[in-house]
Structures are given as C-alpha cells and as structure tokens.
C-alpha cells in the first residue's frame, strides 16, 4: 500500500520569497514520485517527477524537488515565488508495475501575495 501526506493545506508566501511545499510518502516498494499543479478551473499539469537516478529533480517553472529516502520525503521548492505560481499543488506516488496507480495527497493551495 502507498500513501501521501502533504503538510499544510494552505501556504502563503510573498512574491519573491522561497516556496516550500512538503510531501511525505509511504510505500512498501521503491516509489515513483510526482508533483502536479492545478490552476483554477483547469486540469492537472505535471511539474516534475522522480523515478530513479539523481535525487534532485528539476521541473517546469523553476520548481525542483529532492527525493530523500531516509526521510521518506519529496518536498517541492522554488527559490523565488511569482504571482503566477498561485495554484493547487498535489504530490502523488506510484510504483513500478503494469497496473500502476497514482495515489494523491490532499493538496496544498499556494497563495502568493505582493
């Protein structure tokens, strides 16, 4: 079984400040980890993913995340927030296999203020 916990349903940062969205996972097998973003009234867009290899992964729009096995974490960061980053962010986990399924966290709504 696998699960995802996102700490903080709402995060507010000032424009230009560091963005940190937390994600912890539970998986009995090596996980594949994903961050998705959902802008208002839109579907989900993949920001970045970790499968194997380098533990620091870079995604679109300046976001990156680091897979830390010892901490079972996959936190999302961006050095400098922009107003356009305001959206809902979902962390998700899956694992290798033909019957793959994504398990999503409950989401974190990011607010960016002036």
Partner 1 sequence: SAVISQKPSRDICQRGTSLTIQCQVDSQVTMMFWYRQQPGQSLTLIATANQGSEATYESGFVIDKFPISRPNLTFSTLTVSNMSPEDSSIYLCSVETSGGITYNEQFFGPGTRLTVL
Does residue 60 sit in helix, strand or coil? Answer: helix
Can you give the C-alpha Rg of the chain in angstroms?
14
As a whole number of angstroms, the distance between CA 81 and CA 72 comes to: 25
Q: In whole angstroms, how far apart are CA 69 and each of 5, 9, 77? A: 15, 23, 17
Least separation in angstroms between residue 101's CB and partner 1 is: 6
Q: Name which of 39 and 80 has its Cβ closer to partner 1.
A: 39
Does residue 104 sit in helix, strand or coil? Answer: strand
Q: Name which of 54 and 97 has its Cβ closer to partner 1.
A: 97
Least separation in angstroms between residue 17's CB and partner 1 is: 25
Q: Name which of 44 and 86 has its Cβ closer to partner 1.
A: 44
Q: Name which of 2 and 17 has its Cβ closer to partner 1.
A: 2
Q: Which residues bind partner 1 (CB under 8 A)?
A: 32, 34, 36, 41-46, 49, 51, 90, 94-102, 104-107
User: Would you mind telling me the total number of residues written for the chain in this entry?
Assistant: 114
Least separation in angstroms between residue 104's CB and partner 1 is: 5
């Amino acid at each position: 079984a696998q699960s995802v916990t996102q700490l903080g349903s709402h995060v507010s940062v000032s424009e230009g400040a560091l963005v940190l969205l937390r994600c912890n996972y539970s998986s009995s097998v090596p996980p594949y980890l994903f961050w998705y973003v959902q802008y208002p009234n839109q579907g989900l867009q993949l920001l970045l993913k970790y499968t194997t290899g380098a533990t620091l992964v870079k995604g679109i729009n300046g976001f990156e995340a680091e897979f830390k096995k010892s901490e079972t974490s996959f936190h999302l960061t961006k050095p400098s927030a922009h107003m356009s980053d305001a959206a809902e962010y979902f962390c998700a986990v899956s694992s290798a296999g033909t019957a793959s399924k994504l398990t999503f966290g409950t989401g974190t709504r990011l607010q960016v203020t002036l």
